[in-house]
Amino acid sequence: MHGSTTIKDIARAAQVAPSTVSRALRADRRISGETTALILRLSEEMGYTPSLTARHLVTRQTNTIGLVISSVSDLFVADVVIGVEQEARLHGYSVFLISSYRNAGLEADAVRSLHERRTDGIIVTGSSIDEGYLARTDPTAQPVVLINCPNYPYSISTDNLAGARDAVTHLVRLGHRRIAYLANPGSHQANLARAEGCRATLAFHALAPDPDLTVMGDGTLAGGKAAAQRLLALPQPPTALFCFNDMMAVGALCALHEAGLAVPADCSVIGFDDLELAAYCCPPLTTVLQDGEQLGRQAMGMLFRLIQGEENVSPVVLPATLVVRETTGPVPAGAGRGKGVIAA
């Protein structure tokens, strides 16, 4: 970077003022075709690359937004990223991606660093801070849009509650009474909503809650497998597993398989997200679809409006849709006997 060509170098070579070069480069119609052509040719020959940094200092906008995610190794997050990037490109924005690794400290660092970079706005998904962003009342601060944090005024969320409700209702209708929830406290808000949807649905059907049937995971394959194994070791194991996401569901499927249990004959499984992978499981995974790309696009759309100064934006909630494939089936005959919750 030491000696990269500047606008002044070109000005000197073209025997014009720097401002003329600046204008010609940005296709200002006031500059004559001749000089414009000369300047274009020269800047090509001299290998000129504009310095966005310098430009930003004077225009006071970076045309860049920050996107804070938990980690790139989460396929659902990947869809969100793609959606944000698509929409950003549409508006002429670049995206600066930072991973928080589900760590509140790193998330705060990430946001601070984005402020220092003077990005025009910030999108945070899977936040550990959540409404902490509300405290930032400084009007000079960048607007922040949150994904899956419906209490925050500028947010786009999936209807996690309804998604969980539909999933569990589906299981109840199939006759299941002992339904487990494989949680992921790492995704705070989404997890709360799905847990609540599960709880409420069980209550609605007069099924007593069993604390043993909620077991913690971390949204990964390994976490899902471990959680399922703990469940299977219970004196009275569940007949159906509702998992925080598809990855945990695949992990659970693996545990079931290793335990010699057939799906769905011996145990039903439902995931969440509807990753492409869900359709490729053996058997194909019943799951709840949430549209990550759409979430991302809408978040970027909202952020753009916020950047433009629009104030009257309100939270958006996108639907979650149950997709029934082949990991759910009738409750196995004989289940629910003994000290079953209902029979008891």
CA angle 285, 291, 295 (to 5 degrees): 150
Options 34, 44, 116, 311; binder of a second copy; rule CB under 8 A? 116
Sequence-distant (6+) residues with CB within 8 A of 278 are 246, 249, 271, 284, 285, 287, 323, 325
Name the H helices within the chain: 7-14, 18-25, 33-45, 52-59, 75-90, 104-116, 160-173, 188-204, 221-232, 246-258, 292-307
**Under rule CB under 8 A, how many of the chain's residues touch a second copy?**
54
From candidates 13, 37, 45, 55, binder to DNA by CB under 7 A:
55
b/e map 102-131, b = 16+ CB within 10 Å: beeebbeebbeebeeeebbbbbbbbbbbbe
Question: Judged by CB under 7 A, which of 23, 102, 176, 225 binds DNA?
Answer: 23
CB 95 within 8 A of CB 120: no
Q: Does 151 bind DNA (CB under 7 A)?
A: no
Q: Does 114 bind DNA (CB under 7 A)?
A: no
Cβ proximity to DNA, 18 vs 175, nearer residue: 18
The entry of DNA, a second copy, none that residue 245 binds, CB within 5 to 8 Å by partner kind: none
Q: Does 8 bind DNA (CB under 7 A)?
A: yes
53 lies in the site for a second copy, by CB under 8 A: yes
**Spatial distance between the Cα atoms of 241 and 230, rounded to a whole number of angstroms:** 12
The interface with a second copy within residues 148-207 (CB under 8 A) comprises none
Q: Which is nearer to DNA, 26 or 339 (CB)?
A: 26
Q: Does 1 bind a second copy (CB under 8 A)?
A: yes
CA distances from 80 to 69, 110, 173, 202, 325 (A): 9, 18, 32, 31, 24
CA 135, distance to chain mean position in Å, is 23
Q: How far apart are CA 50 and CA 43, in angstroms?
A: 10
Instruction: Tell me whether residue 35 or residue 236 sits nearer to DNA (CB atom).
Output: 35
**Is 44 among the residues that bind DNA (CB under 7 A)?**
no
Write down the least CB distance from residue 107 to a second copy, Å: 14
The span of 91-99, 149-157, 176-184, 236-244 binding a second copy (CB under 8 A) equals 91-99
120 scored as a contact of a second copy (CB under 8 A): yes
61 part of the interface to a second copy, by CB under 8 A = yes
* Residue 7 binds DNA, judged by CB under 7 A: yes
- Paired residues of 122 in beta bridges: 66, 144
Residue 52 CB, shortest distance to a second copy, in Å, is 5
- The site for DNA (CB under 7 A) is made up of 4, 6-8, 15-20, 22-23, 25-26, 29-32, 34-36, 48, 50-51, 54-55, 57-60
